[in-house]
Amino acid sequence: MKIRIFILVILTLVFVVSCGSSIMPTATIEETQDTTQVLDPATPWYKTAVFYEIFVRSFYDSNGDGIGDFNGITEKLDYLNDGNPDTDSDLGIDAIWLMPIHPSPSYHGYDVINYYAVNSEYGTMGDFNNLLAEAHKRGIKIIIDMVLNHTSNQHPFFVNARQSDGSEYHDWYVWSDAGKGNYWHETTVGPSSKKYYGYFCDCMPDLNYLNPDVTEQMEQVVNFWISDVGVDGFRIDAAKHLIEDGDKVENTQLTHDWFNQFYTYYKGVNPETYVVGEVASSDARMTTLYSGDQMDMIFNFELAQGFVNSAKGESTSGVASAISFIQNDAPDWNFATFLTNHDQNRVMSVLNGNVDKAKVAAALLLTSPGTPFIYYGEEIGMLGSKPDEDIRLPMQWTDEDNAGFTSGMPWRLLNENYPQVNVELEESDPDSLLNAYKTLIELRKTYPAFSKGNYVVVETSNKGIYAALQQTEEQAILIFVNLSKNDLVDVAISWESQVLKDGNYHLKNLLGGTEANPFVIAGSKLSDYIPLDLISPYSINIYLLETDQ
């Protein structure tokens, strides 16, 4: 399938990560000082950041109670980013998204009972402030989950709302005498029986944003976390469900209108605040319908599925389909990218434990535009399939008892493969998935072309090869990835539009190794160019294009 994607212009360099037959080695990037592009200071920080999603309960337990905590994350910050650009032992991420940290009766925290406090199982507000300060010292931003759509049914607002129709907080929720369907839940209000609306469950009653008092209260919450605490932004849970309109329960105009004024509010508090929304949809248009004047970005679920499906199916079909819709609907790539998250079976489980396919999926994610998010443990290949608790298992740090997560009894038993899949083991293996992630992240951070620039997916003669070109007026990068388990011979790539200037081109493998074949551009076109006579299985190749002119 022929796909052409044109985007903003910024490219910087090109390099090559070669996996051999199936493994991407850790290597030192060959840098050219005068070609590493300095970002435009007007570029928002989140445009070039690599995010890391953490479920606090499962990351690292510092006190032996079996539950991950803020101090545990602080202890492990150097694993994520030690703040020293001269070291290469850390993962290299730039920002963290913390899943819910507020007090809650549930293990997951998505039913909040106090928006101005932190979950005592995770530590104190002082512990969180220390985590935030230590992260900022290392150049790491932190955003937190913000659950605007609903509260817990144990929140004082809802407890008060049930006292009577005339209670102060009654109209903060959505009520009906005759509501029908799974979204309506019966309770007592004073001496009478009444139904309240809760899209997700009876434990999560929806807030009524048609009441301006609710909006004012949640704006105060947002202001508190930005101004008083100092977080760098929010991930908005269940954004599309905020305000219903009759029988329409998602993506209503009322919801869009509310987020439009919300954008103005939080940017007024701090223009650097980043907000990314969860609008789960297979429709790429959602990324544009909510972005820019409502939230900064939306997660692109369609592209995530395309990345994973192409890695699993060993064909460009999945990613090509997603990108074709992006070309039409969101050509600026102003959205957040990912493979899987806390609501989905882990990518390694979807890929049936195939490490080579996991590296290919990581390459598709981290060499594409957009703002990438990595789910904790994804970088070492943790497994996990539903129920939800089992896709949120404790992080596997070592091969010691409980994978080094806790000295006590973990809140949930770990996957039994932790002696073979853990951070300590993979850090020492140059061919590990973890070191593949480190290499890809280092490439992305060293060369801004991966997060910004003119990006074109080019035609190949074999659907097992994904190929893309990134360029500026001065430089260009060619990426081609063998998605398949097979050696592929004489695979040709082509483009017809004016992508590169006419001239003779050589391809430099910036990590060393085999150089690709040269090519000639004449009349602005390239036809049936064979970069390598043989492309190894699951290999990831990235090259700097150099011209004689």
Active-site residue set: 237, 278
Question: Would strands 175-176 and 192-197 be described as parallel, antiparallel, or unpaired?
Answer: antiparallel
Task: List the structure tokens of 263.
Answer: 């954008």
The CB density around residue 410, as the number of other CB atoms within 10 Å, is 20
Strands (E), 182-252: 184-189, 192-197, 233-236
Cα separation of 15 and 459, whole Å?
Answer: 20
Q: Provide the 8-state DSSP code for 295.
A: B
The answer to whether 385 and 415 have CB atoms below 8 angstroms apart is no
CB proximity list for 166: less than 8 A, separation 6 or greater = none
The CB density around residue 133, as the number of other CB atoms within 10 Å, is 11
The answer to whether 171 and 211 have CB atoms below 8 angstroms apart is yes
Choose among 279, 273, 284, 330: nearest CA to 141.
Answer: 273
CB proximity list for 240: less than 8 A, separation 6 or greater = 250, 251, 255, 278, 279, 280, 281, 286
Cα separation of 363 and 13, whole Å?
Answer: 16
Angle, CA of 54, 57 and 59, to the nearest 5° = 50
Please give, one letter per residue, the 3-state secondary structure of 129-143: HHHHHHHHHCCCEEE
The answer to whether 375 and 54 have CB atoms below 8 angstroms apart is no
Cα separation of 81 and 91, whole Å?
Answer: 6
The answer to whether 50 and 372 have CB atoms below 8 angstroms apart is yes
Paired with 546 in beta bridges are 506
Choose among 542, 532, 474, 538: nearest CA to 511.
Answer: 542
